[in-house]
Chain A
Amino acid sequence: MWSTLLHSNTIWVLLSTMILGFAAGGIGCLAYWKRQNLMSDALSHAALPGVVVAFFIIQEKNLLLLVIGAAASALLGAFLIQWITNASRITEDTAMGMTLSVFYGVGIMLLSIANRSAGGNQSGLNSFIYGQAAAMVRSDVITMVVLAGIVILIIFIGFKEWKLYLFDAAFAKGIGMSVRSMNVLYTIVLVTTIVIGIQAVGVILMAAMLIIPAVSARYWTHSFRNMILLSSLVGGAAGALGTWISSTGSGLPTGPFIVLVSAAIFAISLLFGKEKGIIIRFIQFKVQQRDSERNQFVMDKGGSQ
C-alpha cells in the first residue's frame, strides 16, 4: 500500500489532485454564493465535446491543448445558457438542463467515433468521463498545478472584491467596481478550474468537487474568509485522500473516490458543524429550553411569595 504511494508518479498525481481540490473548493465557495451550483455541473458536461474535437484536430493527447478545447466548448455552453435565458421565456435551470444533456450527448457521440478511429482507444479519452488521475503524466501534472495555482491566486488576491461582488453587486457597481469584468473573471476562473479538473475527476463528477466542499464549510463558520479557506482545505483533503484510495487498486477511477470522501466530510459537517450542525443546534435548543424553564420556575416562586 505504501509502495504505491511512494511511487514517484503517484506522489505527483496526489499533489495535483490536492491542489485541484483546493482551487475547486475556493471557486466552489464563490459559486455557492453566486447561487450557481448547477451552472458548474452544466459547464463541466459542456466541456466534453471540446475535449474530443481538440483531440480530432491535434491527433494526440496533450493536456494543455485538450484543456483549451474543453474551455472553448464550456464557454460556448455558458454563452448558450445565457442566450436561451435572455432570448426566450425559458428559465435558467431549464436552459442549463438542456445544454448540459445536449453537450454531453454530443460529447459521448464524438467520443465513440474517436475510439473507433486509429489510436483513439489508446488515447485515454474515456478517462475524461469518470476521471483517471493515475493516467496523468508529468507534463499533465505541471499544467494542472500551474493553472490551479493561478486560480487560487486570483481568488485570494481579490478576496475583498469577491466578497462585495457576491454580497451586493449593485452596491459594488455604485462604488465604481466593474461588475461586468468581475462576471467575466468569475466565468474564466470557474471554467479553468472545471477543465483542468475533468482529467482527474471526469466531467460527470467535477461539479461535486465544486459544490460539496463549499456546503460542508458552511456548517463550520460565519465568516466569508474562513468559509473560503475551509472549503479549499476540504477540497484539497478530499482530492488527496480520494486519489490515494483509488491508487491502492489498479484501474480504479479517481473521481468517484474523491466525491465519496467529500461526501463523508459533508456528513460529518452536517452533524458536528460548529455553527449550523444538527447536534450544536439541538444542544442550543435544549439549553434555551432549560433556561426558560428555570426562569419560569423562579417567576412562579416569586409569585407565590
Chain B
Amino acid sequence: MRSSIIQVDDLSASYQKNKVLSNVNFNVEEGTITAIVGPNGAGKSTLIKTMLGLHPQLTGTVRFWDTSFKIAKKKIGYVPQRGSVDWDFPTDALDVVTMGLYGKIGWFRFPSRKDKEKAMNALKKMGMESYAHRQISQLSGGQQQRVFLARALAQDAELYFMDEPLAGVDASTEKAIMAILKELKRKGKTVLVVHHDLQTVPEYFDHVLLLNKTVYAHGKTEEVFTKDNIATTYGGNMQWIGKGDQYVVHATSQ
C-alpha cells in the first residue's frame, strides 16, 4: 500500500445557512487520479476549495504530506473552473501560462526568457503553441481550458486539484486534457478532478470519490463505482437509462 498524501478528517463547510459538507473523511494515495463525482449541489467544488483554504472550513483538519496546507502549498497546483475569471482581461495565452511560474520567479522580479520558454513548452504540450500570443478573450472555451491546464503544468506541482476541467469542452480538448492527466500519473503526480460525466469515470480515473454533502464511497474505481453506490449517492430515486454498463442516471423525482 502506498502512502497517503492527503488526509481529510471530519471536514465540514457551509454557505451561510446551508451546510454543504459535513463529516467528510478520506485519504488519497500518492500517484492516483481520483474523480470526485456527485449530483449538482453536492459540494464537489466546495470540497476542493475548502481543502485549499479558499473557502472557510467549519470543522475538521486537512493534512498534505503530514503537514499543513500553508507549508505544502508550493507543491499543490489548482485549476479553477473556467468561469471563475474574467476572460476579457487584457493579456495573452502565454502570459496566463507564465503566471504558473510566479511562485518560483519570486516577488517583484520579471519573468526571464527561460521562464517564457518553460511556459511555451507547457502550451506546446496542450497543443496551443500557435495561440501563444492570442488574446485570451478570443480563445474558445476549450482553448481557455487548455490554457488553464498549461498554467498548472508550468507550475510543476506534485498534487493537482482540477475543478471540472472537462465541462463544456469538445472531444479533441477532452482527449488532450486526458492525455496530460495520464502523463501526470506516469510521472507519479497525484490528481483530484471534479467530474460530472459518469460514463467516462471508469475509463479515465483509477479512483473515485462519490460525494453528496458527505462521502458515500471512496476507493478504486472497479470496486466502488457500482450501480448501488451511485444510486445511493444520487438520492436513491433513480432510473437507469441505456443499456449494459452505461452509467446514465436520471432522477425520477426529488
**Which positions in A face B, CB cutoff 8 Å?**
33, 157-158, 160-161, 163-164, 166-168, 170-177, 218, 221-224, 226-227
Contacts and interface: CB of A to CB of B under 8 A. Distances in A.
A34 to B, nearest CB: 10
Nearest to A173: B54
27 contacts: A33-B86, A158-B107, A160-B109, A160-B111, A161-B108, A163-B91, A163-B99, A164-B102, A167-B85, A167-B86, A167-B89, A167-B99, A168-B80, A170-B84, A172-B102, A173-B54, A174-B54, A174-B77, A175-B73, A175-B100, A175-B155, A176-B74, A218-B90, A223-B90, A223-B91, A224-B89, A224-B90
Contacts of A174: 52, 54, 73, 76-78
B89 A33 contact: yes
Contacts of A224: 89-91, 95
B90 A170 contact: no
A160 B103 contact: no
Contact of A227 (B90, B95, B100, B155): B90
A299 B63 CA distance: 64
A13 B77 CA distance: 50
A192 B76 CA distance: 36
Given A174-B76, A175-B100, 14 more contacts: A158-B107, A160-B110, A161-B107, A167-B91, A168-B84, A170-B54, A171-B78, A173-B52, A173-B53, A174-B52, A174-B73, A175-B102, A222-B135, A223-B92
Interface of B: 49, 52-54, 73-74, 76-78, 80, 84-86, 89-92, 95-96, 99-100, 102-103, 105, 107-111, 135, 151, 155
B80 A170 contact: yes
Nearest to A174: B78
Nearest to B96: A167
A211 B109 CA distance: 28
B167 to A, nearest CB: 17
A158 B151 CA distance: 21
B51 to A, nearest CB: 11
Contacts of B135: 222
B99 A164 contact: yes
Contacts of A160: 102, 105, 108-111
Contacts of A177: 102-103
Nearest to B55: A170
B189 to A, nearest CB: 16
B92 A175 contact: no
A176 B78 CA distance: 12
A24 B86 CA distance: 23
Given A164-B102, A167-B99, A173-B53, A222 B90 contact: yes
A102 B228 CA distance: 60
A161 B74 CA distance: 17
Contacts of B108: 157-158, 160-161
A219 to B, nearest CB: 11
Contacts of B90: 218, 221-224, 226-227
Contact of B80 (A33, A171, A175, A223): A171
Central interface residue in A158, A166, A174, A175, by most chain B CB within 10 Å: A174
Contact of B73 (A176, A221, A222, A226): A176
B80 A222 contact: no
A40 to B, nearest CB: 19
A79 to B, nearest CB: 20
10 smallest CB-CB distances across A and B, nearest first, come from: A175-B103, A174-B78, A168-B85, A167-B89, A224-B90, A222-B90, A222-B135, A227-B90, A164-B99, A170-B80
Nearest to B54: A170
B86 A170 contact: no
Contacts of B105: 160
